[in-house]
A and B are shown apart, each in its own frame.
Chain A
Amino acid sequence: DTGVSQDPRHKITKRGQNVTFRCDPISEHNRLYWYRQTLGQGPEFLTYFQNEAQLEKSRLLSDRFSAERPKGSFSTLEIQRTEQGDSAMYLCASSPIYGTNEKLFFGSGTQLSVL
């Protein structure tokens, strides 16, 4: 199976610690997205890349969040100095470029709990 892979599936950390998540997209997909989802809500956009270029970052995203996609392949999302409000499911998705006919293929997510 060559779907989107995310690691780890679960992360428990203490407030103030840094965490990093990894996403491996479907290999031929140019676009990679990060979303965050809390219970009872739909996924909230964080940022996206086209190849290695980060094209957009949500204005709601704190400076504690940073994402990279070196070489246009896998991506990492780092959260520095975690807060309890960062607890959420972090979803990665990839997409081939179909113009505006968007089709997102999601990974299973990383569930973050900040104690």
Chain B
Amino acid sequence: GESVGLHLPTLSVQEGDNSIINCAYSNSASDYFIWYKQESGKGPQFIIDIRSNMDKRQGQRVTVLLNKTVKHLSLQIAATQPGDSAVYFCAETVGDYKLSFGAGTTVTVRA
């Protein structure tokens, strides 16, 4: 079946550096994507979303890039801070609310 997955289960980054978290999806019909952040013991938190008619979207310190040709999604975090340590999930959907979530990437920020 279709699936969403992240390239790497863990990512270690130096405080102040930029982070890039990658996600591959297999359903070429997916038209809406969301990135969530989940801190330990908490529920997921919506970070940013992007629709398939866009290639790039920026938020506060975060940028999501979508490459539909290779079915790849990335989340870039600028000037990574200790508070960015968390598990990051990408999720996709085809026209409705039944999101499919990837397994997540654990980001650890080194001081």
User: Are chains A and B native binding partners rather than an unrelated pairing?
Assistant: no
Identify the B interface with A (CB < 8 A): none
Identify the A interface with B (CB < 8 A): none
